[in-house]
Structure formats: C-alpha cells, structure tokens
Structure 1
Amino acid sequence: MARYDRDGGQVPTTLFECAAFHRSVKVHCPTCGREAVFHGAALWWLFQRKHWPDHLDYVPAKMRCTGCGRRGIPVRLSREAPTMVHLPLPDDAAWKRAVSRFRS
C-alpha cells in the first residue's frame, strides 16, 4: 500500500506502484558512477517473471552494475525517461490483471 508525503502525494513502496504512478527507477553505482533509468513497468515485469519480491526495500539486492559488477546498487524513484530499454514491458492482458488485483 502506498504511503503519503506531507503534501498528500502518494509515495510508492513497490515496483508495481512505481509503474502505476508513472515513475521510473533510477540506479547509480557508487563505485564506478554508472547510471541507468529503468521503466517502472518493465522492471516490475522482470521481478514478476522471476518471482522476486517487488517491495522497494528488496530491489537493490537484485541490482548489479554492468560496468564494475557491484551488487546492491541503491535505487531511487524518478520521473526521467528510461535509458534502459532492453527490458520488455508486460503485455496488455498481464498489466490489466495486475491493475485489477491492485484496485481490489
């Protein structure tokens, strides 16, 4: 369930909420400085297919830098356009099922 900030805006707590609220996920490697921005829905779909927990507290443990190989890359939410476009988006049927479960 989403949290709310002081202004009443929703703060996503899962990858699905990031996708539903049109947010991207930005990762920045502290070792080599490499950055990437993932589409929220594409990253959520990857986690769904691999049966990984999609809570934002667990996402950094699954991230790995493609430059230096470091694991545990910190993530933050962003509204930037995705730079990593190689991850497939969920098909319409899968997305509609997920939205239906989210609303109920």
Structure 2
Amino acid sequence: MLGGLPDASNARGVSSPLSSRDRSIGVPRVSRARKADYRAVMDPEFTRLEDYRVRRMNMRVECGNCGHAGVLDGEKLWRWFVLHRWKSSLDQIGDHMRCSVCQRRPTGFTPTSDPPTRDFGPSDELGWKAVVRRLRAG
C-alpha cells in the first residue's frame, strides 16, 4: 500500500509472466512493461532497500495509475522486508505494495530526505517483536 502497510498477501505464489528462459537466466519476476517503468525512475545508486537504510534515506513511492505519492521510512521498510524474508531489490518490492487510493501497484521509487508522510508497521521494539512472533507462528 502506498503510504501504508505493504501488501503481505503476495509473499508467495506470484505467477511469472516471463518465459522459462528468462527465469533460468535470473530475470526478476516483473512484467516487461513494469521493468521499463522501474528502470526509468530508479536512481542507479539505490537498487536495494539496504541502500536506503545505510544512507538513512526515505523512499518516495508513486503510483503510475492515479499519480498518488507518499514518502515511507526507508529503514522501517527495509526491516519489514527483512522480517518477511522478501527480496529487497527495487524491481521486486512493488510486488508487496499497493496504492492506498486505487489499489494498483506502485511504479516509481525515488530516494528522498523528506520526512515520512505515511506510517506503517510497529512503532516500538515490542511491536517488532510481536511481528517476529506472529511470523514464526504462522
């Protein structure tokens, strides 16, 4: 979700629109049209969520459908993806997010030093520990 909790329903079972040849050479599971969108808006220095965490930057996420945008805390987003064991490359994180306005997948991810405009996930260490317990139980 743009500016909200990433969509956990898509963690597994995503069908790939790519051919078996593309999958065998390591092409990410992103449609060809979306790959072009991601490459057009990605900063070459920021290719993984880890890059946002290390540089203490936040992520501006934009919906290509309705134009809605929000700023997410880069470190918190990185931790959310690590706990769920999701891949954190920018061409794959959109598979776990949805726009909070139109429910489509976001297409733009850019680094920003602006403060987060949307909050998601736990706000304290006890909350993060509860997430870990829930993920271990399920």
SS at match of 1:77: strand
Partner residue of 1:16?
50
Residue identity over aligned pairs, in percent, reads 28
**Over residues 19-63 of structure 1, what are the superposed CA-to-partner deviations in whole Å (9 max), with x where a residue is unaligned?**
110111111112222111011111101111211101122122222
Give the deviation of 1:83 after TM superposition.
Answer: 0.9
State the AA in 2 paired with 1:25.
M
Equivalent residue in structure 1 for 2:70, among 28, 31, 36: 36
Distance 1:72 1:33 in 2: 9
Higher strand proportion: 1
Partner residue of 2:104?
70
Distance 1:55 1:89 in 2: 24
State the AA in 1 paired with 2:49.
L
Quick one: structure 1 residues 62 and 71, their matched pair in 2 at CA, closer, same or farther if it must change by over 3 Å? same
Question: What RMSD over aligned residues (CA atoms) do the two structures have, in Å?
Answer: 2.3
Distance 2:124 2:52 in 1: 14
**RCO (CA 8 Å, sep 6+): is it higher in 1 or 2?**
2
Quick one: structure 1 residues 48 and 89, their matched pair in 2 at CA, closer, same or farther if it must change by over 3 Å? farther
Normalising by structure 2, report the TM-score. Answer: 0.52
Higher helix proportion: 2
SS at match of 1:57: helix
Distance 1:36 1:73 in 2: 12
Provide structure 2 residue ranges, at least 5 long, that are not aligned to the other structure. 1-43, 126-138
Partner residue of 1:51?
85
SS at match of 2:52: helix
SS at match of 1:58: helix
Q: Which protein is bigger by CA-based radius of gyration?
A: 2
Partner residue of 1:4?
none
Normalising by structure 1, report the TM-score. Answer: 0.67
Provide structure 1 residue ranges, at least 5 long, that are not aligned to the other structure. 1-9, 92-104
Quick one: structure 1 residues 12 and 32, their matched pair in 2 at CA, closer, same or farther if it must change by over 3 Å? closer
